[in-house]
Amino acid sequence: MTRGSGKSKEETLIEMNEAGSPNGEENNGFHSSANAGVFQLDDATSAESLCSEFSASVSKSSSQSSEFLCDQCDKEHTEPVQHLSSLAGIWRKRTLFLKYRSRVDKQHQSKDSVYFRDGKRRIDFVLSYIEDKEDRKQERRKLYEENMQKAGLELELEDKTESEDGKTYFLKIHAPWEVLATYADVLKIKVPFKVNDIPENREIPVSWLFTPLLLPDHVMRPDPDYFTSPFDKSKDDFFLIDDKETLFPPSTRNRIVYYILSRCFYNRDDNINKDKRGIKRLLNNGTYTSAFPLHDCRYWTKSRDTHCESERYSLYRYWARFFRFYKEQPLNLIRKYYGEKIGIYFAWLGFYTEMLFYAALVGLICFIYGAATYDDVIWTKEICDDDIGGQIVMCPLCDKKCGFWKLNSTCNSTWQSHLFDNTATVFFAIFMGIWVTLFLEFWKRRQARLEYEWDLVDFEEEQQQLQLRPEYETKCTSRRRNKVTQEMEPYFPVTSKCARACLSGATVLFWISLIIASIIGVIAYRLAVFAALASVMKDSPTNKMELVGSLITPQLATSVTASCINFVIIMILNFFYERVAIWITDMEVPKTHLEYENKLTIKMFLFQFVNYYSSCFYVAFFKGKFVGYPGKYTYMFNGSGLRNEECDPGGCLIELTTQLVIVMTGKQVWGNIQEALLPWLKNWWSSRKARSHPESLYSRWEQDYDLQNFSQFGLFYEYLEMVIQFGFITLFVASFPLAPLLALMNNILEVRVDAWKLTTQFRRPVAAKAHSIGAWDEILNMIAVFSVVTNAFIVAFTSDMIPRLVYLYAYHPGTELTMQGYVNNSLSIFNISQLHSDNTPDPGENPAWFNNSVITTCRYRDYRYPPGHEYEYSHTMQFWHILAAKMAFIIIMEHVVFVVKFLVAWLIPDVPSDVQARVKRERYLVQEYLHNYEVDKLKKQLNEMGGGECICPTVAQPLKHEVVSECLT
């Protein structure tokens, strides 16, 4: 720019804006500098001052020669680099001013609004993209947007100069009434047609007690009670429509728009390619960077636009904050804002948490009972007594590295075991079997009520018929005639289905085999490390540690470290398998969204079931059961030298408890970190430059663009986490009565964490309908039945409850019922001289008190005849009596619990009687009102014709825009 150009300031501004920076850089670089917080503009005054300052700078620059006259020393310089810093400051101010002016002058309403620039048309969806030089992407966008407009959608583009980063375009989409009405008819969305005339009588006894738990009505927003019917566009005067703009809530509007976007082509009509359609494919190939509906406001403050509902603010204030943990959830508002699918999840999670309170209370009472009877346990006193347990020498627990030991060394673990292994264990196991049934039956009733209140009755059939997955329609090359509709529909050959199913099943089996292999590896670790720790800790060096020194034993150290390693392996396998499960489910090409979710659910749960529970099953049902006896031990692998683990005299129940606590607690803590901390860190980093922007510079679509995307699997993982937890508190609850209490505390936090992250950290999900929790319902029922069996076996085989009862009633000495002598009775005798050389401790491994010449026998946990007996080392009759008692207990407990379960299920109807009456009444009224409507319409037409001739009802005129419905059969 040279002196004497004669150009005005405004012309100079425009020319500089088009030319770029003096360094040959694009303006975007200065955009990012400005956005980093170099300058802040909050009002028009600052803009005017910046304009004046910039104009002065331009004038001064215009008066300078091309030799860069220096305004500091008033000399000419041939090195322009010396002036780059001053020129860069001028250009930064110029760029920021133009950007600010374009934002302020062109906008007449707050940029935090969810409306088009006219302030009337609502933004139902937003697409974003970054312009590049690839012609294919530009052509796709052009054709796709043309087809969207043909489908009736209205578009408005925000130029990249209006965006915070200076390079992202935002395409705003609005669905007018004509489009909403058309697709509401296609999707059979229910609309009110009559006020409910059935009186509601749901008085809750002593309801005043629940007042502190209730939310105000303006937050709960109970919808007026109407009878509803699927919308019919040709009969719009049949329905109660006060305002067309508010008839469909934003969640329904964005669901309709997404339905259109997922079926729009991005090629020309004369070159139809079924592969080239749908927003998912355009997101995958980079044509668009994101697609999302908008939140209605910032979560911490209401929108300045009076037309915005500010429901997000209400959800954050009354639902997503942790200090509201004792309040009810505003389910109607959640459903209205996020859709029925997310609403059903939070309804189920809240109900599950409520029911956990009763299980946690009973479990806590059982634990308190164990602690209260701590000092009254005779067999524990005998183990800890120096004159009894201190005189019993036990056989080595491993080969070579383990020496002989005294029974009283297990005193602490025996005390700990009694906290969970007591008489209350049997009661609690039976109680949980009944609790599971009550939980599932009452949830069915709650779910039935929600189905009616949220217009989800008969929704499954509609979903199956109408909402085919676009991927299914794309990959189906064959078509066949539907026998019901007599229309052609996409068809996948049976041979291809079978081949894909076989490959999918083989993949799942391979990964389950990996889990089993890893569990075997952990077992081998336990065997090897136990021998090493037993050798290192033979002189009990940890006893010198204060408080916890006496509690650390080789068994405990091995159990804790093995459980931690197992947990790490679980998380690693989960990470990889999640991606594999999604890939093989995509490969199977399910027909509907419901079928896709069900297939993925089964695969993921089957894997997670084996992954999380296999180690607990090993400790509960295999450890200590196949040990053999001294002189004839059983080994894990022939010739491996790894002898099978034994349970200490206190039993294996305490080790099962340890395993359960580590895996269950670790999973919950890690899950909360993943769910809350990671999204927060990602959002904090991505929006670090824009956080200080005023509302006028940080639009609603840009704010949501900086949030994390809520993927289609987001809700799936939430269900999976809770169902795995449900398995922990039901399958193994007999070993740990406090498990429901831990789950309750976690779920109180889980509800608010899920609400917080959904409201503050994620973009608004596309609304979806769901009439139930889907396949998870069947999985919960399966776990409920299986839990009765596992708990019966835990009480019988893992706990020492049955051997103690057999001793008490059949083998106790004297005439009085007493447990004295139980410890001595439960231990068999072995002659040390008969011990095989491979099992004999190495020199130096035995403790100092051990004397070969004095101590000739050792004891082990079993019921076998002593040396010298006719049936030496064979099982005694007491062993078979105990085994028979265990089997009898399992049969009796299972039958009692199952009978009670089925009786409770029969007594509690799945659908409340008032809901049944309302559904029947609604169906009757739909038929009656539709009949009367048609008759009245016909009479009106006849009157208009003067009663002369009979005419048929007019056929609705075709729409002026194209309906994307080729695949609805």
pLDDT beyond 80 at 520: yes
| Of 608 and 219, the one with more pLDDT | 608
Question: Which two tokens mark 127?
Answer: 């697409």
| Beta carbons of 122 and 76 less than 8 angstroms apart | no
54/61 Cα distance (integer angstroms)? 10
Report the pLDDT value the prediction gives residue 651, as an integer from 0 to 100. Answer: 67
| Of 546 and 933, the one with more pLDDT | 933
Least confident of 241-250, 428-437, 474-483, 765-774: 474-483
Question: Which two tokens mark 633?
Answer: 């031990």
Angle (CA) 672 676 699, round 5°: 165
From residue 422, alpha-carbon distances to 206, 398, 431, 795, 799 in Å are 37, 29, 15, 10, 9
28/24 Cα distance (integer angstroms)? 12
DSSP 59-75: HHHHTS-TT-B-TTT--
User: Averaged over 137-155, what is the pLDDT?
Assistant: 92
814: left (phi over 0), alpha (psi -120 to 50) or beta: left
> For the chain, which residues make up each domain, given as ranges?
125-333
Residue 772 pLDDT class (50, 70, 90 cuts): confident
Report the pLDDT value the prediction gives residue 946, as an integer from 0 to 100. Answer: 67
Q: What pTM, to 2 d.p., does this model score? A: 0.81
Tens of pLDDT, residues 837-879: 888 888 878 888 888 788 889 999 889 999 988 889 999 999 9
| Beta carbons of 827 and 860 less than 8 angstroms apart | yes
Report the pLDDT value the prediction gives residue 275, as an integer from 0 to 100. Answer: 61
| Beta carbons of 780 and 440 less than 8 angstroms apart | yes
Residue 21 pLDDT class (50, 70, 90 cuts): very low
Question: Which two tokens mark 722?
Answer: 């809770």
Q: Is 34 exposed, middle or buried (0-12, 13-18, 19+ CB in 10 A)?
A: buried
From residue 524, alpha-carbon distances to 637, 641, 687 in Å are 10, 10, 49
Residue 441 pLDDT class (50, 70, 90 cuts): very high
Tens of pLDDT, residues 379-427: 888 888 888 888 899 888 888 878 888 888 888 878 878 888 888 888 8
Report the pLDDT value the prediction gives residue 166, as an integer from 0 to 100. Answer: 80
Report the pLDDT value the prediction gives residue 113, as an integer from 0 to 100. Answer: 83
Residue 27 pLDDT class (50, 70, 90 cuts): very low
527/457 Cα distance (integer angstroms)? 56
pLDDT beyond 50 at 741: yes
Report the pLDDT value the prediction gives residue 607, as an integer from 0 to 100. Answer: 85
Give the residue among 874, 907, 878, 742 at the shortest CA–CA distance from 811: 878
Report the pLDDT value the prediction gives residue 638, as an integer from 0 to 100. Answer: 66
Question: Which two tokens mark 118?
Answer: 């006219």
State the chain's maximal CA–CA distance in angstroms.
126
Query: Tokens 């650390």 identify what position?
Result: 552
Q: Average per-residue pLDDT in the chain?
A: 78
| Of 754 and 457, the one with more pLDDT | 754
| Of 224 and 689, the one with more pLDDT | 224
Residue 539 pLDDT class (50, 70, 90 cuts): low
pLDDT beyond 70 at 696: no
Angle (CA) 544 548 552, round 5°: 85
Least confident of 337-351, 474-488, 761-775: 474-488
Dihedral angle over CA of 815, 821, 825, 829, nearest 10? -140
| Of 593 and 760, the one with more pLDDT | 760
Least confident of 194-203, 231-240, 546-555, 587-596: 546-555
Residue 52 pLDDT class (50, 70, 90 cuts): very low
| Beta carbons of 469 and 592 less than 8 angstroms apart | yes
Give the residue among 522, 589, 590, 583 at the shortest CA–CA distance from 558: 522
Give the residue among 187, 180, 152 at the shortest CA–CA distance from 236: 180
31/100 Cα distance (integer angstroms)? 11
Tens of pLDDT, residues 800-830: 889 989 998 888 887 788 888 888 898 999 9
Q: At what angle do helices 775-793 and 593-621 cross, to 10 degrees?
A: 10
pLDDT beyond 90 at 316: yes
Highest mean pLDDT among 126-135, 461-470, 592-601: 126-135
Helices (H), 20-107: 27-33, 44-62, 84-106
Tens of pLDDT, residues 606-657: 888 888 888 888 888 888 788 888 888 888 766 566 777 777 656 677 778 8
Q: At what angle do helices 714-731 and 775-793 cross, to 10 degrees?
A: 20
Residue 149 pLDDT class (50, 70, 90 cuts): very high
| Of 536 and 71, the one with more pLDDT | 536
Tens of pLDDT, residues 294-307: 998 888 888 877 77
Report the pLDDT value the prediction gives residue 947, as an integer from 0 to 100. Answer: 53
Tell me which H or E stretch contains 290. Answer: strand 290-292
Least confident of 168-177, 778-787, 872-881, 950-959: 950-959
pLDDT beyond 70 at 178: yes
Question: Which two tokens mark 78?
Answer: 């041939």
pLDDT beyond 50 at 967: no
User: Averaged over 367-371, what is the pLDDT?
Assistant: 89
Least confident of 360-374, 687-701, 813-827: 687-701
pLDDT > 70 fraction of the chain, expressed in percent and rounded: 78
User: Averaged over 681-691, what is the pLDDT?
Assistant: 71
Question: Which two tokens mark 204?
Answer: 């809750």
Q: Read off the DSSP letter of residue 295.
A: P
User: Averaged over 725-746, what is the pLDDT?
Assistant: 90
Q: Tell me the Cα Rg of the chain.
A: 37
Q: What's the distance, CA 960 to chain centroid? A: 43
Residue 962 pLDDT class (50, 70, 90 cuts): low
User: Averaged over 359-369, what is the pLDDT?
Assistant: 93
Query: Tokens 């007999």 identify what position?
Result: 734
367/661 Cα distance (integer angstroms)? 15
